[in-house]
Amino acid sequence: MTMPGSKYEKYVIRKPAVLVRDGDVYVDKVPETDELPVWSDLDTDPRVIFSNDFIPNTHTKIEYGYITGDINVGNGEDFNPHKHDYEEIFLFLGTDPKDTAKLGAEIEFWLGEGDDLEKVVINTSSAVYVPAGLAHFPQIWKNVQRPVMTMMIMPTTGERNLIMIPMEERLKKALPGG
């Protein structure tokens, strides 16, 4: 509920933007209706809940979403593996209120490039720090037993600036049949 005339209402974001691909560029767009689009039945897609589009002159961007089934994320179909000139923190949060450490899924999160490309396996609620310049993705989600909340926090960026990474090396190592 909005309080009329609240001087602090400008600091409250009540409707997230969604990530929209425009060629090789991703932009944040607030949908014109109350219904938020989803990428698939298994992935809500990133919802941008905080950015300088909402609060001018901030340098933090926060996205969230849910994964509800086995899926490959960042394999070139939805978006490409990439790196950027800012740090990013990925949170993978289990949704079992009786055991919040239990993720309820297994994730292969691919980091690095070339000879340094490797997978990190995540199966508990976890945070992954990705320093500026480190290539990341795809994420291969397996054995998803319940929805998993994901959050991405970019504490030092105002704008999204992605450098795409070729898929060939990742397909060979990460994706079945690649």
15-63 tens-digit pLDDT = 888 877 776 667 777 877 777 767 677 777 788 899 888 898 889 999 9
Architecture of domain 15-173: Sandwich (2.60)
Half-sphere exposure of 8 (CA within 13 A, CB side): 0
Query: Which pair of tokens denotes residue 77?
Result: 């179909």
3-state secondary structure of 63: strand
- pTM recorded for the entire structure: 0.86
Higher pLDDT, 41 or 10: 10
Burial class (CB in 10 A: 0-12, 13-18, 19+), 8: exposed
Half-sphere exposure of 139 (CA within 13 A, CB side): 20
Domain boundaries, the chain: 15-173
- Max Cα-Cα span within the chain: 58
- The per-residue pLDDT for range 102-145, each reduced to its tens digit, is 999 999 999 999 889 999 999 999 999 999 999 999 999 999 99
